[in-house]
Amino acid sequence: MSKISIVPAPSRVEPGEGMFVVTPDTVLVASGPAAEVAALFAAQIAPALGYTLPVVAAVDERPAITLMLTEGLIHLGVEGYHLTVTPSSVTARASQPAGLFYAAQSLRQLLPPEIFRSEAVEGVAWTLPCVEVEDVPRFRWRGAMLDVCRYFMPKSFVLRYIDLLALHKLNVFHWHLTNDQGWRIEIKKYPRLTEVGAWRKETLVGRLQYDSELVFDGIPHGGFYTQDDVREVVAYAQARHVTVVPEIEMPGHAQAAIAAYPELGNLAEPVEVCTYWGISENIFNAEESTIAFLQDVLDEVLELFPSEFIHVGGDEAPKKQWRESPAAQARIRELGLRDEDELQSYFIRRMDAYLTAKGRRLLGWDEILEGGLAENATVMSWRGVAGGVAAATSGHDVVMAPNTYTYFDYYQSADRDAEPLAIGGYIPLEAAYAFEPVCEGIGDAYAHHVLGGQGQLWTEYIAAPEHAEYMAFPRLCALAEVVWTPAERRDYADFLARLAVHLQRLDGLNVHYHPLE
């Protein structure tokens, strides 16, 4: 009997005797919304099978894999599912399509790993071990952030990344779309954001050094997603039960936008799209006209992204220009604020009110706590967990994304010299697996404010999709188990044993993962 090696580990797995065999005679039985899940499952396994299992509405005498929506499983929630494999049939049941989709992802992983290959595989018996699985995710926010600003990532890779998230039952793709080094989303009302802001003339070579002259590559870099591209990505993600959460950075990390529209900044002289890494001093001014500009941008963003949460950044906004700008100082006085921190808080509160009025929820990095947290804000805790603890214990929802466990741009091997250049830090696979979103300091009383956790891929030192995969995997597999599997079922040794099989799946998909050490 083949061993069951599902990643992330399900809540409950009871192996049985024998196996079900998929053959060209097998049918998928499903109707209504379940038929859409069945059709996607059939398409996912068709290349390796060499044939597409037909989706039919009713059972006949052929061996069947049934996907069924049933109110009887309402207690498993929107994303939970039940799976029964016997020698004569396979039955996946859930109360909602998302749960059925996750059942299908588990079915893919019950099949031999060769099922993930992209061409017909010869000589493999397509068996599913008999088993009973009941599975419910631990957290509702199971995310992965991709920075496409420091290096533009082609749409084809964004789609592939979403596929890989869905395979791991991750359900939020946090798309970091604007930063100092590039503005990557078309905004119809302000075309210069991409005409100018999506392109930089060159890029820093090697790591940012503070004590020696910077060296640049002389190679222009850029790119952006049209609104048609964005709609395509959002629809693709939706079909895989992944929510795309866009991030539009403000008031900091704004240099590319200010390069496009200098009136958004604080200086008299123009700036160019940033060509090196670090924290730019060029932040948005807090004039009414700039707030209106950004709300216009958000209007187009809201049209494109149906997600409940909209990320407005808020991190790393140096206040130097506000301190030195007579206009910013006048604004602080006019608004009756104490200092620059309170001006940032005012800025974010304005966005919070705007998004709330439109039925959405503002999300920001933990710096939005400085100067006072906006009323309806949700906090993404990145500088460790302190911001998340402070926000959760004051009654705000939080997403845990601490740089101590979830920054997958950090080194993953102790032997740095053997690794491609990375931003620094050290988060080996075991540390990624040890992440606990309901950390010390939150306690039972506030645990419900922890929506979940998320892995980050900042791309200062990641110029190509293959390298992005190398940094993300297998640490994202570990993160997936942290946010999906019940805490008491987490077991690193067991994870490693399953991962050995799982990496064969990633081989089939040609994922350029970091080898196990």
Which positions lie near ligand ACM, rule CB under 6 A?
315-316, 365, 382
Residue 363 pairs in a beta bridge with 311, 378
Q: Is the peptide bond before 270 cis (omega within 30 degrees of 0)?
A: no
| CB nearer ligand ACM, residue 10 or residue 313 | 313
Q: What is the 3-state secondary structure (H, E, C) of 290-332?
A: HHHHHHHHHHHHHHHCCCCEEECCCCCCCCHHHHHCHHHHHHH
| CB nearer ligand ACM, residue 41 or residue 365 | 365
Tokens for 404, please give them: 């101590």
| CB nearer ligand ACM, residue 111 or residue 250 | 250
Cα separation values, 17 from 84, 91, 128, Å: 12, 16, 11
Residue 439 Cβ vs ligand ACM, minimum distance, rounded to whole Å = 18
Nearest residue to ligand ACM by CB is 315
Q: How far is CA 118 from the centre of its chain?
A: 25
Residue 365 Cβ vs ligand ACM, minimum distance, rounded to whole Å = 5
Residue 425 Cβ vs ligand ACM, minimum distance, rounded to whole Å = 11
Which amino acid, one-letter code, is at 32? G
Residue 141 pairs in a beta bridge with 452
What is the sign of the dihedral through the CA atoms of 488, 95, 361 and 363?
positive
Tokens for 254, please give them: 């704004």
Residue 141 Cβ vs ligand ACM, minimum distance, rounded to whole Å = 16
Residue 315 Cβ vs ligand ACM, minimum distance, rounded to whole Å = 4
| CB nearer ligand ACM, residue 147 or residue 186 | 147
| CB nearer ligand ACM, residue 116 or residue 284 | 284
* Tokens 């499952």, residue located: 41
Q: How far apart are CA 421 and CA 411, in angstroms?
A: 8
| CB nearer ligand ACM, residue 186 or residue 366 | 366
Q: How far apart are CA 134 and CA 80, in angstroms?
A: 8
Residue 21 Cβ vs ligand ACM, minimum distance, rounded to whole Å = 48
Which amino acid, one-letter code, is at 43? A
Residue 83 Cβ vs ligand ACM, minimum distance, rounded to whole Å = 38
Burial of 432 (0-12, 13-18, 19+ CB in 10 A): buried
| CB nearer ligand ACM, residue 41 or residue 382 | 382
| CB nearer ligand ACM, residue 315 or residue 342 | 315
Q: What is the CA radius of gyration of the chain?
A: 24
Residue 382 Cβ vs ligand ACM, minimum distance, rounded to whole Å = 4
Q: Is the peptide bond before 318 cis (omega within 30 degrees of 0)?
A: no
Q: How far apart are CA 85 and CA 134, in angstroms?
A: 12
Q: How far apart are CA 515 and CA 517, in angstroms?
A: 6
| CB nearer ligand ACM, residue 41 or residue 183 | 183
Nearest to 483 by CA among 432, 415, 442, 441: 432
| CB nearer ligand ACM, residue 112 or residue 314 | 314
Residue 316 Cβ vs ligand ACM, minimum distance, rounded to whole Å = 5
Nearest to 63 by CA among 7, 127, 123: 127
Residue 247 Cβ vs ligand ACM, minimum distance, rounded to whole Å = 10
